Amino acid sequence: MKHLLAFLIIIGWSPLLLAQTDSVELDKKSTLTLSSLVSSNANYYGQTAEEKLPFAYLDLRWQAPWGWYISGGGYQLITEDDLPSEMHLSTGFEFEFNPSMMLDVSYTRSFYAKESPLLQASNPNSATAALGFTHLFKTELTADFNFGKTEDFFVALENTKQVKLAQWGQGLFYVNPGITVVAGTQRFYTTYIEERGRALGLDHLLPLPALEGMGKDSVERTTVSSNFNLLSYSLNVPFIYYWGKNAVMLSYQLSLLSKKSAQERRQNSFFSLGYFYQF
């Protein structure tokens, strides 16, 4: 599961959302999946920008029967005037070793609006590898190498469990709670602070500012480490309703940041509503 958007992560679920566990298995064929989502705030491995950034997202993904896929889309920050706030192209390959083990490797190139307020805007390239195991739970280990103006490496360990709650005719209602632990470096945060400072005309505070509450009189300095540290714990509770080729998701995410995180806030909450369709 991708964590860049989600980035992030949320978005990478669409092929899984439409693969109902108790459906009759069909011969593999090419698929085209539309994903759309609105969220209360953009998050980057559970971390957020200084200002709240609600957004709308749209993505289209085509996957061949033998595992190769390509996708493209973007999202718009509701509070920003630049259109679009982000666009991206991704390509990757899914290796299915057996019904309970899969490896996904991918590369994503993103394009951000000038002076983007997003944390990840300094690193528009992302190389990702995710190894998933299905047992009593679904366990996924994801490694992300994000690079551009800086270089950061993240590792996420996630456990999820899909539970069927109800069935109404052909419609199925599930909850798929999950817990994710993320560790990584934080060079992106130094770049984010510096670029936001310049955008607000606060160059005199550089090169080591930490502007908690941009534009306010008080300025607090933060030491940002490039060491590999534990960053966040996240609880995600998505409720998903499937009917035919459609799926609707309502999700809540609570992220608790470790003391090693460069951010002052130690808790972030996110609400998301998504619609998915597989052609």
Long-range contacts of 143-148 (CB under 8 A, 24+ apart): 144/2, 144/3, 144/4, 144/184, 146/4, 146/120, 146/188, 147/123, 148/122, 148/123, 148/124
pLDDT tens-digit readout, 25-46: 446 789 999 999 999 999 999 9
Q: What is the mean pLDDT of the chain?
A: 84
pLDDT tens-digit readout, 54-94: 999 999 999 999 999 999 999 999 988 878 899 999 999 99
Does position 199 have pLDDT exceeding 70, yes or no? no
Q: Peptide bond preceding 207: is omega within 30 degrees of 0, i.e. cis?
A: yes
Token representation of residue 272: 């998301």
Which residues share a beta bridge with 44?
A: 47
Of residues 263 and 274, the one with the higher pLDDT is 274
Which of these, 176, 172, 179, 178, lies nearest to 239 by C-alpha position?
176
DSSP class of 205:
G
Of residues 84 and 19, the one with the higher pLDDT is 84
pLDDT tens-digit readout, 156-197: 999 999 999 999 988 999 999 999 999 999 999 888 887 777
Domain 9-278: CATH architecture, name and number where available: Beta Barrel (2.40)
Q: Peptide bond preceding 84: is omega within 30 degrees of 0, i.e. cis?
A: yes
What are the boundaries of each domain within the chain? 9-278
pTM exceeds cut of 0.95: no
Does position 227 have pLDDT exceeding 90, yes or no? no
